Amino acid sequence: MIKVFAPATVANLACGFDVLGLALNEPGDIVEVGLNDKGIIEVLNESGVALPLEPENNVTTVAIQAMLDTMKSKQGVSVVFKQKIHLGSGIGSSAASSVAGVYGLNELLGRPFNKTELVTFAMEGEKLASGSAHADNIAPAIFGGVTLVRGYNPLDIVEISYPEDLACVIVFPQIEVKTKDSRSILPKEIPLKEAIKQWGNLAGLVAGLMKGDYKLIGNSLHDGIVEPVRSMLIPGFYDVKETAMKAGALGCSISGAGPSIFSLCQGLEKAAEIAEKLRPIYKNLNIDFELYVSKINNQGTKIIP
Amino acid sequence: MIKVFAPATVANLACGFDVLGLALNEPGDIVEVGLNDKGIIEVLNESGVALPLEPENNVTTVAIQAMLDTMKSKQGVSVVFKQKIHLGSGIGSSAASSVAGVYGLNELLGRPFNKTELVTFAMEGEKLASGSAHADNIAPAIFGGVTLVRGYNPLDIVEISYPEDLACVIVFPQIEVKTKDSRSILPKEIPLKEAIKQWGNLAGLVAGLMKGDYKLIGNSLHDGIVEPVRSMLIPGFYDVKETAMKAGALGCSISGAGPSIFSLCQGLEKAAEIAEKLRPIYKNLNIDFELYVSKINNQGTKIIP
């Protein structure tokens, strides 16, 4: 068996709804993957986090099955979850689980598939988890760094370079926000004027990341479309945002479908400082929470000892 | 008197509606600018192209007046148009006129203003011409190259690097499309799904330009929002597009509000080849037309001998 680390990821990044994402150094899933001769995909859970283990409800099984189907293979695969990102946290928990299995299996089989192909298999897991086969968490989980899903027909993943000391704070208030719910409250139509603002900011964010221009990154991290709607599902959101921005974050918005909230910052030290200022907010609201401080993960999913 | 060249510009670039633009080496306005002691802004037209010369209807006068008002100056200025881009061509004719005057005056006064400040003055000319003070032609006309207008509050112009041999073909069918009309037919609301596709492509285009990745540039040059509506105002549009794409253009769409159509290509030679294939289209439609083939202008507005 080999041991795989698949990172948590932040999708959307304010102005990049459904297309941008980045990978974190922590938290992440740690999963052991091996071949078996039982001809079935077997998932064991030693992570301490409750996971659906029935094959049809488990994203890892579904993703691995998609890979095996493409190979027309009946290979048996064993997966053991050793460490698991909280489900429903909005930092790509289902993506990490979907990715870990196919990444490990691909390694064991001598890498028959490239990273973009692995994304397509893992997307089947996302489809199970959220009802839509999106890649904005899967892509950064596999590639690492910041990724753009330019489009799906065909799947086109673009790696976006970024300044080396870009760091991220995640605060995860432990309330339940289902991805399906947080999708259904989105407007079907948006004003063209708002869309223009949003794509101006997204273009600015991509340019800012590639230039390493922190001022431009900060000026671009706005979301006038999704954040105003989804933030209503997250108690304390505007407290967190105001506190993070006052403490010097480049920007702060909802991670994926929420409830986690991310702040981007220049340097790990600044990120740690902001995290400490956020700590009292959910304490005062009597909501359990977790805090993560991380540089951007530049490796993506990987084998670990 | 000094002589100023202000280039034609292509706004929107398919997926970058209202935010992206680029400058061409030709055509352009050539304008002489001088100071006078009459205390008035005097515009003479020796270009052979009909221009409104009443101060309240002339974009150059309005832009210069905005600059003088900021300086609280009553300085007299003389402007002589020697060469003029066709009005209503969709390649930034009003922007070039607005820019030429303020650029020349700024030079004569020892550069009291930076380029971004010049953009704000020239935007007053655009407001007169089209009813909205947009900067997507003004910015590339002044800065050269490819520019992003990230936002207006405050005005934030981002220079986007691009591969050195990027070239452009413009075909300008001489029909009248008023910018005000081509704005009024745009939808006020757009489907979120379409907006996501568009901003995925815009992010891809910016990344492709900055990486010098022609494949990504080509894959990103799509517009599912404005082109399907505005193309109805341009006879022959889909003939031009199909012909250009078959001949190897990276992408082809409407320049600004039209009726000009631009094709981006790799290399001037390819651009010239595409131009020749476009030539018969408007001949057969019995519509007068002009063709321009140009590399991207990397200098913007400049003093010429």
Residues of B in contact with A202 (CB under 8 A): 199, 202-203
Q: Left, alpha or beta for B110 (phi > 0: left; psi -120 to 50: alpha)?
A: left
CA dist B91 and B69 (Å) reads 28
pLDDT higher than threshold 70 for residue B99 = yes
A64-73 confidence digits (pLDDT tens):
999 999 999 9
B117 is written with which tokens?
């400040």
Residues B2-12, mean pLDDT to the nearest whole number: 98
Percent of chain B with pLDDT over 90: 92
The tens digit of pLDDT for each residue in B105-148 reads: 999 999 999 999 999 999 999 999 888 889 999 999 999 999 99
Q: Which of B146, B153, B158, B193 to substitute to test the interface with A, most A CBs within 10 Å?
A: B158
- Residue B292 pLDDT: 98
Cβ-based contacts of A196 with chain B (< 8 Å): 17-19
Find the closest chain A residue to B18 by CA distance.
Answer: A196
**Cβ contact A160–B207 (<8 Å):** yes
Q: How far apart are the first and last CA of chain A?
A: 11
Cα A194 from Cα A216, distance rounded (Å): 19
pLDDT value of residue A255: 97
pLDDT of residue A181: 77
Phi then psi dihedrals of residue B29, to 5 deg: -85, 140
Specify the pLDDT at position A133: 85
Task: Give the closest-approach CA distance of A224 to chain B in angstroms.
Answer: 13
What ipTM, to 2 d.p.? 0.95
Give the residue from B21, B20, B16, B23 showing the smallest Cα distance to B222.
B16
Per residue in A38-54, pLDDT (tens digit) is 999 999 999 999 998 88
Helices (H) and strands (E) in chain A, counts: 10, 12
Q: How confident is the model at residue B191 (pLDDT cuts 50, 70, 90)?
A: very high
Specify the DSSP class assigned to residue B10. Answer: E
Q: Do strands A289-295 and A189-191 pair parallel, antiparallel, or not at all (unpaired)?
A: unpaired
Whether B180 shows a pLDDT value over 80: the answer reads no
Q: Are A108 and A41 in contact (CB under 8 A)?
A: no
Q: Is B131 left (phi over 0), alpha (psi -120 to 50) or beta?
A: left
Bridge partner list, B243 = none
pLDDT in tens, B229-264: 999 999 999 999 999 999 999 999 999 999 999 999
Report the pLDDT value the prediction gives residue B178, as an integer from 0 to 100: 72
pLDDT of residue A179: 67
Q: What pLDDT tens digit does each residue of chain A (305 aa) get?
A: 999 999 999 999 999 999 999 999 999 999 999 999 999 999 999 999 999 888 889 999 999 999 999 999 999 999 999 999 999 899 999 999 999 999 999 999 999 999 999 999 999 999 998 888 899 999 999 999 999 999 998 999 999 999 999 999 999 999 987 767 788 899 999 999 999 999 999 999 999 999 999 999 999 999 999 999 999 999 999 999 999 999 999 999 999 999 999 999 999 999 999 999 999 999 999 999 999 999 999 999 999 99
Chain mean pLDDT for chain B: 96
DSSP state of A85: P
Q: What is the DSSP annotation of A52-80?
A: --SGGG-HHHHHHHHHHHHHT---EEEEE
Which residue in the list B61, B120, B179, B301 is annotated as catalytic?
Answer: B179
CB atoms under 10 Å from CB of B52, counted, come to: 15
Asked if B236 and B209 count as a contact pair (C-beta separation under 8 A), the reply is no
Tokens of B8: 């034609």
> Do strands B41-45 and B76-83 pair parallel, antiparallel, or not at all (unpaired)?
parallel
Query: Cβ A201–B18 below 8 Å, yes or no?
Result: no
pLDDT at site B129: 87
Contacts of A19 in chain B (CB under 8 A): 196, 199-200, 203
Report chain B residues whose CB lies below 8 A from the CB of A182: none
Average pLDDT, integer, range B211-225: 98
Tokens of residue B113, six digits: 């203003």
CA of B293, closest CA in chain A: separation in Å?
27
d(CA A27, CA A74): 33
Would you say the C-alpha torsion B193, B195, B197, B199 has a positive or negative sign?
negative
Q: Is A90 left (phi over 0), alpha (psi -120 to 50) or beta?
A: left
> Which candidate in B124, B126, B147, B243 is catalytic?
B126
CB contact under 8 A, A19 and B203: yes
Q: Are B237 and A190 in contact (CB under 8 A)?
A: no
Which of the four pLDDT bands, split at 50, 70 and 90, describes residue B179? low
Closest CB to A199: pick one of B187, B202, B210: B202
> Are B199 and A199 inside 8 Å of each other by CB?
yes
User: Chain A interface residues facing chain B, Cβ-Cβ under 8 Å?
Assistant: 15-20, 148-151, 156, 158, 160, 186-192, 195-204, 206-208, 210-211, 216, 219-220, 225
DSSP string, B287-303: --EEEEEEEBPSS-SEE
- The pLDDT value recorded for residue B55 is 86
